[in-house]
Structures are given as structure tokens and as C-alpha cells.
Structure 1
Amino acid sequence: MEHIYELYNDLPRQGPGDNASTKRALSLIPVLPEKPLILDIGCGSGMQTIELARATNGTVTGVDNYQPFLDVLLANAKHNVKTVNASMDQLPFDKGTFDLIWSEGAIYLMGFENGLNYWRDFLSPGGYMAVTEITWLNDNPHHEPKSFWQAAYPEMKTVAENLKTIKSSEYRNIGNFVLPESSWWEDYYFPLLSRIEWFRKKYSGNNAVLAIADEVAAEIDLYRRYSDNYGYVFYVMQKSD
């Protein structure tokens, strides 16, 4: 894990996303309190955390289990941002605390259904949740990405299947949209490719460590060739009470 974290250090984001998509998802929420309490789970270095604080005038608590990411977030945040070093499956908050729970590119670590069900308890009555989830964009993906993602994330589903999970997890669907391909490249894959080059030079000759870079590079190439097969989808929902 130490080398994986090192590879992903100094990136604008640790997963696909962009501020325009963050704001678009936020715009789907019909109403929030004047100063909402927001929890950003798996916030990483927190580009979206800062955007949420700016756009809502709320207090945003960023949660991650890697302190250097949280340090970057606090260094960049201007106002209304707190951080907590904790695991997303052991949140140290009272139930019903937050008006909005946010998570970009992280819920897969728990699994979509598990994350929705566990995090639900921390929402206030009628609170909202917005997450991005890696999703099949058609029913018959090519065998190559299908094989890769069945090994990496066997719970990966289609949009229709995820909407059924949202309903069965006692949320009301508000809306969803596919993140644009640019959100994979501009703040994530292009910087990551540069990071991979640096990483390979630093660990030249260390095949065990270089295998990490090779796996990430293969994932990037897979998306380059099969971006029409899968992508990240923003799902916005409201807790049913």
C-alpha cells in the first residue's frame, strides 16, 4: 500500500471527476439547509470537497484514511472544511448528523450496496446522497474490459441495476448522469501517466514495485480503448423515511 499511495500522491484527484460534474450533481438536489452539514467520504486530496464548501456555504467534513491526502486538503481549503482520518466502514459520527453525504470514486471500496446501506444511517431525515460508481454503460461489454473488471470489481453493475439497488436500499432516485471522458483524463489519467513515468525511473530494476505501475498503466490503456463500455456514473438520491 505504501507504494500505491506514493504513486497517487501529488495528483489533482485520485479518481475520475471534475468540478463541473460536482456542481452538476449538486444542482440536482432540490433544496438544502442554508448552511448544510456535508460529509465527503473517501475525499482524497479533496478537490471536490473544496468545491462543495464553495458552492453550498456549508461545512464539509472530508474523511480519508491516508493522512497526507487530508493534509493537502487542509492546506488548499479556504474555509468551512474539516478533516477526519477514518475508515469509510467505521465512521466516527452520530447517526442522523449530515444533510448530504458525498463520495466520488470511493464507494466501490465497500461495494455500492454496502456503502449505501451503511452510510444511510448518518443522513438526517430526508437527507441526500451523491456518489459516483464505476458502471457498465451497455449490457454486452467487450470481453477484455469485462474480464478485467470481473477480477477487479465483480460487483460492477449497469445503470439500471444500480437504480434498483438504490430503491431497495430505501432511497428515492433524484437523477444520474455519466461523467464525461474528459473527467477521466484532465485531472486524473494525464497527471497519473506523468507520475508513472517518474515512478518507473525511481524504482528502475525493482520488478515487484514496477508491477504496480504496469497494472495502473494497463488500466489507463483499457479505458482509452473501451470508454464506451464503462464509465463513472453520478447517482443522486434522497433518503426515504
Structure 2
Amino acid sequence: MCVPWQIATMDALFRLYDRLALLAPGDDETSRAALRRVMPLPPRARVLDIGCGTGRSARMIAAEQPDAEVIAIDVHPPFLEEAARGAPPSLRTRNESMDALSDPDESVDLIWSEGAAYVMGFEAALRSWRRVMRPGAHAVVSELCWLRAPSETARAFWAEAYPDMTNVEGTTRRAQSAGLEVIETLVLPERAWDAYYAPLEARCDALASDPTMHAAIESARREIALWRATRGEYGYVMLVMRRVSPSR
């Protein structure tokens, strides 16, 4: 999911996204480029895909690094069932909140999270997840950023929906403050947003007659319309990072 829509219930949001391939903007080519930047992983690496949704990234990592243990983590069991469907044996799922990881300290070689860190807030998520990262371990986490000076329309929308949003430079500083070195930033292409919004818009149309879905649908439609009107002002940026500083 792209943003936490406070006016819609979680049940409505989960129903809106049920069986959608993308739960946030995503692009296989960009994800693979980010993964190549942190490979090769150590032998028998442990990887967490946090807020995995239906498992697109987790399955990609498991396919590219077959000797790794990939653990896909989400709070919504139906998403985890979809993530596990057809996955290799090296991919396991875990029903767990991202702010309460059960992994031991310094036990993970790669943290991965696309379109989910906003739930905790980007810097808070990195500070929390850093505990489980081995010294020198990597993290690939996407964050919504301003890509150029925003219009008043976009600024007003995101001030309500995600007030912590900043530009790439500000996001990089937050990562550094959390104890991670930013190695590279990759901006998701516009096709990633089109691929996400087209099926979501179709789902909105299909559920439009259900009054219990009104708030979720109106929020989604508003967000889609904003993207089309202000295309290129903001986007998801994948930050490739490494833990380098001592434990705090």
C-alpha cells in the first residue's frame, strides 16, 4: 500500500488490495538492480523482506540467491499465503509486525522492504531494524520522496497523508542518522506507478457499489488523480544501504 489512509478501516484496505499483484509501486528491473548492488550475499545468508505483501520481492531474492534463507514478513495472513504459493523451499513466511521483529540481534545479512517503511516512518523503521543487522549487513528500503519542487496541490495532499515526506537528500540524512551508509539511490520509473495504479483503479470500479468501501475507494481515487496531475514531482526511491557504525 502506498500511504496509510487514516479515514479507511484496515479491513476495507485489505479488501481493496485483495489478489492484486502489486500493493505499492514496484518494478522488477529496479529491484534486481538494487539486489545486484548488494550481491554476492554471504553463504547461507539470512534475508528479511519486511512488509512483504504478496511476496514479489521475496520470491525474486530467493530465485537470485538460492542458498539464502529468505523470510517474508507481514501482518496479513492472506498476503503471506500468496507469498508462499509456488515459492522455493528457501522462502519462509512469518506473521509478525514490522515494529516487533523476533530475530536475534545481529543475525540478518540483508533487510529488504519495498513500499512499507512509511508505516513506522522511514528513520524509525531503520533504527528499529538495524538491531537485527550484522555489522556490514545491507538494507534495501524504498521511501516516498520529493523529486522536484512540488506544486501546492501535491504538497497539501502529502502533508496530510505522509507529513514526514522529504526529498532524496533529506531521506539520505535520515538513513545516516539511523546508523546506515547510503551506497546508492534508485528512483522507481513512472511505469512502476502506472503498473500499480491501473489494477487498483479497476478494483475501485469493481467495488464502487459497496458502501463499506467508500472511504478506501475515494482515498485511492484521490491519490491516483494526484499522481496523474503532478507526475514526476514525487516518487519512490530505493535506498541501498550498509550498516557501518557500532551498535547504539
Give the TM interval when normalised to the shorter protein: over 0.9
**Does the Cα contact within 8 Å between 1:35 and 1:56 map onto a contact in 2?**
no
2:208 counterpart SS class: helix
- Matches for 1:16-95 after TM superposition, within 5 Å: 16-29=25-38, 31-57=40-66, 58-95=68-105
2:93 counterpart SS class: strand
2:197 and 2:158 map into 1 onto residues whose CA distance is 18
The structural deviation recorded for 1:137 is 0.5
Q: Identity rate of aligned residues, in percent?
A: 36
Task: Check if 1:224 corresponds to 2:233.
Answer: no
1:209 and 1:136 map into 2 onto residues whose CA distance is 30
Q: Which runs of 5+ in 2 are unaligned?
A: 1-9
1:226 and 1:232 map into 2 onto residues whose CA distance is 14
**Does the Cα contact within 8 Å between 2:113 and 2:141 map onto a contact in 1?**
yes
For residue 205 of structure 2, what is the amino acid of its counterpart? Answer: E
2:111 counterpart SS class: strand
Q: Which runs of 5+ in 1 are unaligned?
A: none
- Matches for 1:141-220 after TM superposition, within 5 Å: 141-186=150-195, 188-201=196-209, 203=210, 206=211, 209-220=213-224
Which residue is equivalent to 2:3? none
Name the TM-score, length of structure 1 as normaliser. Answer: 0.94
**Does the Cα contact within 8 Å between 1:137 and 1:159 map onto a contact in 2?**
yes
**Does the Cα contact within 8 Å between 2:111 and 2:139 map onto a contact in 1?**
yes
2:214 and 2:179 map into 1 onto residues whose CA distance is 44
The structural deviation recorded for 1:31 is 3.8
2:239 counterpart SS class: strand
Which residue is equivalent to 1:117? 127
For residue 138 of structure 2, what is the amino acid of its counterpart? Answer: Y
**Does the Cα contact within 8 Å between 1:45 and 1:73 map onto a contact in 2?**
yes
**Does the Cα contact within 8 Å between 2:50 and 2:72 map onto a contact in 1?**
yes
For residue 223 of structure 2, what is the amino acid of its counterpart? Answer: E
1:152 and 1:194 map into 2 onto residues whose CA distance is 22
Check 1:76–1:184 CA distance in 2 against 1; reply closer, same or farther (3 A cut).
farther
Task: Check if 1:135 corresponds to 2:139.
Answer: no
The structural deviation recorded for 1:30 is 5.1
1:38 counterpart SS class: strand
For residue 67 of structure 1, what is the amino acid of its counterpart? Answer: P
**Does the Cα contact within 8 Å between 2:201 and 2:221 map onto a contact in 1?**
yes
For residue 206 of structure 2, what is the amino acid of its counterpart? Answer: W
1:227 and 1:16 map into 2 onto residues whose CA distance is 14
Larger deviation, residues 72-81 vs 103-112: 72-81
The structural deviation recorded for 1:13 is 1.4
Aligned residues: 235
User: 4+ runs of 1 displaced by more than 3 Å?
Assistant: none
